Amino acid sequence: MTERDRRRAAAERTESGNTLAASGTDEAVAPTAATAGSGDAIPDPRDSLHRAKAAQPATSPADATGGVPAHQGADDTPSGGRPRPQPGAGHDAEPGRAAGRPPEEDAASARLRFLGAATRRIARGIDLDEIVLGLCRSVVPSFADAILVYLRDPLPVGDEQPTEPFRLRLRRTDRITDGVEDVDSMGGSRLLPAAAEPEAPGLGAAEQVDVVRAGALLEVLRGVRPVFGETLAARAALIELLGRESPLANAPADKRTIVAPLRGRRRVIGVAVLVRGPARPAYGQDDLLIAAQLATHTALGVDKAVIYDREAYIADQLQRTMLPEYLPEPTGVRLASRYRPAAETARVGGDWYDAIPLPGSRVALVVGDVMGHSVTSAAIMGQLRTAAQTLAQLDLPPQEVLHHLDEQAQRLGDDRMATCLYAVYDPIAHTLTASNAGHPPPVLLRRDGASEVLDVPPGAPIGVGGVGFEAVELQAPQGSTLLLYTDGLVESRLMDVSTGIDQLCARLTRTAALTGPGNPPPLEPLCDEVLDVLGPGDRDDDIALLAARLDGIAPSAAAQWSLDPRAQAPREARSLARGALAGWGLEELTDIVELLVSEVVTNAVRYAQRPVTLRLVHTDRLRCEVVDDVPQLPRMRRAGPADEGGRGMFLVNKLARHWGAERLSVGKVVWFEI
The pLDDT tens digits of the residues spanning 145-156 come to 889 999 988 887
Looking at 344-353, 438-447, 461-470, 508-517, which range is the least confident one?
344-353
Per-residue confidence (pLDDT) for residue 313, from 0 to 100: 79
What is the rounded average pLDDT of the residues 502-508? 93
| Residue of 74 and 587 predicted with greater confidence | 587
What is the rounded average pLDDT of the residues 108-115? 83
The strand pairing partners of 485, in sequence order, are: 545
Name the residue among 530, 563, 569 with its Cα closest to residue 546. 530
The strand pairing partners of 370, in sequence order, are: 418
Residues 6 or more apart in contact with residue 665 via CB below 8 angstroms: 394, 395, 396
Which amino acid type is present at position 297?
H
Which runs of E-coded beta strand occur in 358-476?
363-370, 418-426, 431-437, 443-445, 451-453, 471-475
Q: How far apart are CA 274 and CA 508, in angstroms?
A: 58
- Coil, helix or strand for 38? coil
pLDDT above 60 for 4? no
Give tens-digit pLDDT for 284-330: 888 899 999 999 999 898 888 888 888 877 877 787 788 888 899 88
How many other β-carbons are positioned within 10 Å of the β-carbon of residue 640?
Answer: 7
pLDDT above 90 for 446? yes
What is the rounded average pLDDT of the residues 501-508? 93
- Select the highest-mean-pLDDT range: 40-49, 136-145, 156-165, 638-647: 136-145
Looking at 56-60, 140-144, 387-391, which range is the least confident one?
56-60
Helices 216-223 & 232-242, crossing angle to 10 degrees?
110
Q: How far apart are CA 378 and CA 348, in angstroms?
A: 6
CB 433 within 8 A of CB 471: yes
Tell me how long the chain is: 674
Tell me phi and psi for residue 147, to 5 degrees: -145, 145
Looking at 71-80, 343-352, 404-413, 483-492, which range is the least confident one?
71-80
pLDDT above 80 for 133? yes
Band of pLDDT at residue 345, cut at 50, 70 and 90? low
Which burial class, exposed, middle or buried, applies to 98 when counting CB atoms under 10 A from its CB (0-12, 13-18, 19+)? exposed
Per-residue confidence (pLDDT) for residue 594, from 0 to 100: 94
Looking at 154-163, 187-196, 275-284, 625-634, which range is the least confident one?
187-196
Average pLDDT, the chain: 78
Name the residue among 562, 625, 573, 611 with its Cα closest to residue 595. 573
Band of pLDDT at residue 209, cut at 50, 70 and 90? confident
Band of pLDDT at residue 21, cut at 50, 70 and 90? very low
Going 663 to 669 to 670 to 674, the CA torsion angle's sign is: negative
Instruction: Name the CA dihedral angle for 458, 459, 460, 461, rounded to a multiple of 10 degrees.
Output: -60
pLDDT cut 90: percent of the chain above it: 32
- Inter-residue long-range contacts of 601-607, CB under 8 Å, 24+ positions, other chains counted: 601/563, 601/569, 601/570, 601/573, 601/626, 602/569, 602/570, 602/648, 603/634, 603/648, 603/649, 603/670, 604/565, 604/628, 604/630, 604/670, 605/563, 605/565, 605/566, 605/567, 605/569, 605/570, 607/632
Q: Cis omega before residue 357 (within 30°)?
A: no
pLDDT above 50 for 176? yes
Band of pLDDT at residue 41, cut at 50, 70 and 90? low
Per-residue confidence (pLDDT) for residue 49, from 0 to 100: 46
Per-residue confidence (pLDDT) for residue 204, from 0 to 100: 65
Looking at 245-254, 548-557, 589-598, which range is the least confident one?
245-254
What is the rounded average pLDDT of the residues 588-616? 92
**DSSP secondary structure, 445-505, as one string:** E-TTS-EEE------PPBTS-S----EEEEE--TTEEEEEE-GGGT-BTTB-HHHHHHHHH
Q: How far apart are CA 222 and CA 268, in angstroms?
A: 7
Per-residue confidence (pLDDT) for residue 320, from 0 to 100: 78
pLDDT above 90 for 483? yes
Per-residue confidence (pLDDT) for residue 180, from 0 to 100: 36
CB 309 within 8 A of CB 127: yes
Per-residue confidence (pLDDT) for residue 343, from 0 to 100: 62
Q: How far apart are CA 564 and CA 611, in angstroms?
A: 5
| Residue of 18 and 394 predicted with greater confidence | 394
- Number of C-alpha atoms within 13 angstroms, CB side, residue 56? 9
pLDDT above 50 for 370? yes
The strand pairing partners of 545, in sequence order, are: 338, 485
For residue 187, give the H/E element and its range: none
Give the chain's largest Cα–Cα span: 133
What is the rounded average pLDDT of the residues 501-507? 93
Per-residue confidence (pLDDT) for residue 277, from 0 to 100: 85
Give tens-digit pLDDT for 81-99: 333 333 333 333 344 444 5
CB 201 within 8 A of CB 246: no
| Residue of 199 and 443 predicted with greater confidence | 443
Residues 6 or more apart in contact with residue 536 via CB below 8 angstroms: none
Tell me phi and psi for residue 658, to 5 degrees: -140, 150
Instruction: Name the CA dihedral angle for 401, 404, 435, 483, rounded to a multiple of 10 degrees.
Output: -70
CB 174 within 8 A of CB 140: yes
Band of pLDDT at residue 185, cut at 50, 70 and 90? very low
pLDDT above 70 for 178? no
pLDDT above 90 for 368? yes
How many other β-carbons are positioned within 10 Å of the β-carbon of residue 110?
Answer: 22
What is the rounded average pLDDT of the residues 17-35? 36
- Select the highest-mean-pLDDT range: 11-20, 64-73, 183-192, 362-371: 362-371
